[in-house]
Structure 1
Amino acid sequence: MAARMSKNKQGGFNLLTWFLHSPTTRSLKTLAYEEVRSSTDKHYTSTAFILHGLLGSGRNWRSFSRNLAATLSTTSPSSEWRMVLVDLRNHGQSADIEGLAPPHNMANAANDLASLVKAKGWVWPDVVIGHSLGGKVALHFTQSCARGEYGQSTALPKQEFAVVKEQLWVLDSVPGEVKSENSDGEVEKVLQTLQSLPSQVPSRKWLVNHMINLGFSKSLSEWIGSNLKKSGEHETWAFNLEGAVQMFNSYRETSYWPLLEHPPQGIEIDIVRAEKSDRWEPDMIQRLEGLASRVRDGPEGKVSMHVLPNSGHWVHVDNPKGLLEILASNLVSI
């Protein structure tokens, strides 16, 4: 999530023309993605990247993103938002793209986003919204932009020239290392179970029943089943399991507390903690609350914290209305 380059009107027209005459979902040598907008009658003025969680895909956020774009269009008629739903490496349609080489870690997943922006000739996103695994990819993307790792064009804005703050939203993603003793092990158990299965399974119904018989909840089992795709007479995964496991390990091992301690100039990092999520230890919450309440001297950015009531980890499913209210009320101001 970097500085927005100046939006050239002629370039904007070319991008709009390209958008209208191109398929909604595209597979690239970089990443696959889908664009969601409330209307194509006018050119978009702002862009948000939406990053899904482990074993998910951009389509998981399609309905929520449509509602968010429509809400923002209604509350601020002068703005038109484009939501770019990205399939991270090893996930969704990006799982079949060659060239996304290992190591499969947070750094390379963030690099993929920069490559996508450059390959398409886009302006850099105004907002990046990442859930769970995607939250840490978003944090790394912001960190790399701040360090100038993606080139001169991504340098974060200087306060005196920044009319608008850039925003990063991290949805129920623990920013620090995730120790084994601080986890109930459900994700690990799911990954181990999937690794024990053949690459092709008889049917989605068979998989769901198999997971339930192993003790997993019906809702989790059905969600895992939704990540299958047809392969001849059988079903196979819509993700690269081994690559996803490597990404999960990187997610657990990587900490972005230093970034939150000293957020880049011109950036607001918003952390959304789901009220019923089991991923947060009391000391983490206290640390975040301290950062959010701290009065900052100098040009550093800002950290804000929000609590999403009546929601577990799957924020866009458990309380989509509440999440929409939190995001829309803040995004409308940029």
Structure 2
Amino acid sequence: MADLTSNSSKMATLKTKQCLNLITRFINSRTPPFHYKNTRTLQTLAFEEIQSSPNKPDAPTAFILHGLLGSGRNWRSFSRNLASSLSEWRMVLVDMRNHGKSVDIEGLDPPHNMFNAAMDVANLVKEKGWEWPDVVIGHSMGGKVALQFAESCTRGDYGHSVSFPKQLWVLDSVPVEVSPEYSDGEVEKVLRTLHSLPSPIPSRSWLVNHMIQLGFSKSLSEWIGSNLKKSGEQESWAFDLKGAIQMFNSYRETSYWSLLEHPPKEMEIGLVVAEKSDRWDPDLIQRLESLSSRTGDESEGKFSLHVLPNSGHWVHVDNPKGLLEIVTPRMASLST
């Protein structure tokens, strides 16, 4: 972990363009045929299932939670590759409230915070009559939703018959309050810009050109443009911007340090820090390193810190192979 500390200053000076220029790159790999289900139920989250053996009963399950302004589809390629290595597993890609196909679902009422976003996941499990997920993988804001889900499971928020996840994977997600020093990054600038745009948006090409003129990279501008959808003769967002901003504010304000310090027995929490990410406070990195190297207590679960090399914030795009090499063996250990 010494390399991580020495690279901490580099993280803070990373140019956002380096991270975001890769957002449109695709993962090219051979994978076996997969079975997909796109499902939506009233007042529960939209989701998609990926499974190489759809008729296998009692398959271990991993929920995958996307980040701000994203959707489950952003994680299809990674999930296919993960499922090809873990053929017995079932992946559930969730569209969180205010995002993707969950935008139009009634009943996902405010406040739009981490607690309610995690409650949505629990309600989905209950509504579908599923077993509770064995693993929850969350990227960025989804990482904090995963932490909230685990915390709520352990204290009985969802009932006493709940089984908490055996593993959490928190991917480049700051698990504590975001320091003011790191509260004026690219994400905040994007949100402020989107909030100031006219409604309706004149066209996708207008939006992309406008974002570029404001100084955003072409790739980021095009990715933002891809989040527009046709609504009659007009363009509208594929996310609820006001609700997403509220969720992001909750992300910045919440801390799950106590859960990292004292995970419940038989739970593993793995935090993956992207080597080139620009959102990490060096002091926090040192605290996480110290926590990870602490001698384990058999009465509690485990916390581990992992560095994903050659990756910015978009871990599943920048270095999907490296991420798979971190996550896959630990998940495989649950089914042996």
Please list, as runs of the form range in 1=range in 2, the aligned pairs for 1:184-333 lying within 5 A after superposition: 184-333=184-333
Q: Deviations over 1:51-81 (max 9, x none)?
A: 00000000110111111101122xxxxxx11
Q: Is the 8 A contact 1:200 1:237 kept in 2?
A: no
Q: Deviations over 1:274-311 (max 9, x none)?
A: 00001111111111111111112241110011111100
How high is the TM-score relative to the length of structure 2? 0.86
Task: Measure, in 1, the Cα distance between the counterparts of 2:37 and 2:289.
Answer: 43
Q: Is the 8 A contact 2:178 2:253 kept in 1?
A: yes
Q: Deviations over 1:186-209 (max 9, x none)?
A: 111111110111232132222111
| SS across alignment from 2:53 | coil
* Aligned match for 1:145, one of 153, 168, 182: 153
Code of the residue aligned with 1:36 in structure 2: it is I
Q: Deviations over 1:137-166 (max 9, x none)?
A: 00000000010111011155xxxxxxxx80
Unaligned runs of 5+ in 1: 1-19, 74-79, 157-164
Q: Who is 2:99 aligned against? A: 91
Which structure has more relative contact order (CA 8 Å, sep 6+)? It is 2
Aligned residues: 300
Task: Measure, in 2, the Cα distance between the counterparts of 1:67 and 1:206.
Answer: 36
Q: Who is 2:17 aligned against? A: none
Code of the residue aligned with 1:86 in structure 2: it is V
Task: Measure, in 2, the Cα distance between the counterparts of 1:217 and 1:92.
Answer: 23
Task: Measure, in 2, the Cα distance between the counterparts of 1:199 and 1:58.
Answer: 26
Q: Is the 8 A contact 1:129 1:138 kept in 2?
A: yes
Q: Who is 2:129 aligned against? A: 121
Task: Measure, in 1, the Cα distance between the counterparts of 2:38 and 2:186.
Answer: 35
Q: CA deviation at 1:131?
A: 0.2
| SS across alignment from 2:230 | strand
Task: Measure, in 1, the Cα distance between the counterparts of 2:308 and 2:264.
Answer: 25
Q: Deviations over 1:6-25 (max 9, x none)?
A: xxxxxxxxxxxxxx9x9533
| SS across alignment from 1:332 | helix
1:269/1:137 CA distance change after superposition, 3 Å:
same
Please list, as runs of the form range in 1=range in 2, the aligned pairs for 1:48-127 lying within 5 A after superposition: 48-73=62-87, 80-127=88-135
1:207/1:44 CA distance change after superposition, 3 Å:
farther
Q: Is the 8 A contact 1:202 1:235 kept in 2?
A: yes
Code of the residue aligned with 2:44 in structure 1: it is T
Code of the residue aligned with 1:46 in structure 2: it is P
1:41/1:298 CA distance change after superposition, 3 Å:
closer
Task: Measure, in 2, the Cα distance between the counterparts of 1:65 and 1:131.
Answer: 13
Q: Is the 8 A contact 2:132 2:163 kept in 1?
A: no
Q: CA deviation at 1:256?
A: 0.6
| SS across alignment from 2:333 | coil
Q: Is the 8 A contact 2:37 2:49 kept in 1?
A: no
Q: In terms of mean alpha carbon deviation, does 109-118 or 32-41 score higher?
A: 32-41
Q: CA deviation at 1:44?
A: 5.2
Q: In terms of mean alpha carbon deviation, does 197-206 or 288-297 score higher?
A: 197-206
Percent identity of paired positions between Structure 1 and Structure 2: 74
Q: Who is 1:11 aligned against? A: none
1:297/1:326 CA distance change after superposition, 3 Å:
closer
Code of the residue aligned with 2:243 in structure 1: it is G
Task: Measure, in 1, the Cα distance between the counterparts of 2:83 and 2:59.
Answer: 12
Q: Is the 8 A contact 1:25 1:32 kept in 2?
A: yes
Q: In terms of mean alpha carbon deviation, does 302-311 or 32-41 score higher?
A: 32-41
How high is the TM-score relative to the length of structure 1? 0.86
> Alpha carbon RMSD of aligned pairs, Å?
1.6
Q: Who is 1:4 aligned against? A: none
Code of the residue aligned with 2:79 in structure 1: it is S
Q: In terms of mean alpha carbon deviation, does 136-145 or 218-227 score higher?
A: 218-227
Task: Measure, in 2, the Cα distance between the counterparts of 1:243 and 1:213.
Answer: 26
Q: Who is 1:46 aligned against? A: 60
Task: Measure, in 2, the Cα distance between the counterparts of 1:119 and 1:198.
Answer: 38
| SS across alignment from 1:153 | coil
Task: Measure, in 2, the Cα distance between the counterparts of 1:69 and 1:152.
Answer: 31
1:147/1:196 CA distance change after superposition, 3 Å:
same
Code of the residue aligned with 2:143 in structure 1: it is G
Task: Measure, in 2, the Cα distance between the counterparts of 1:51 and 1:172.
Answer: 13
Q: Who is 1:159 aligned against? A: none
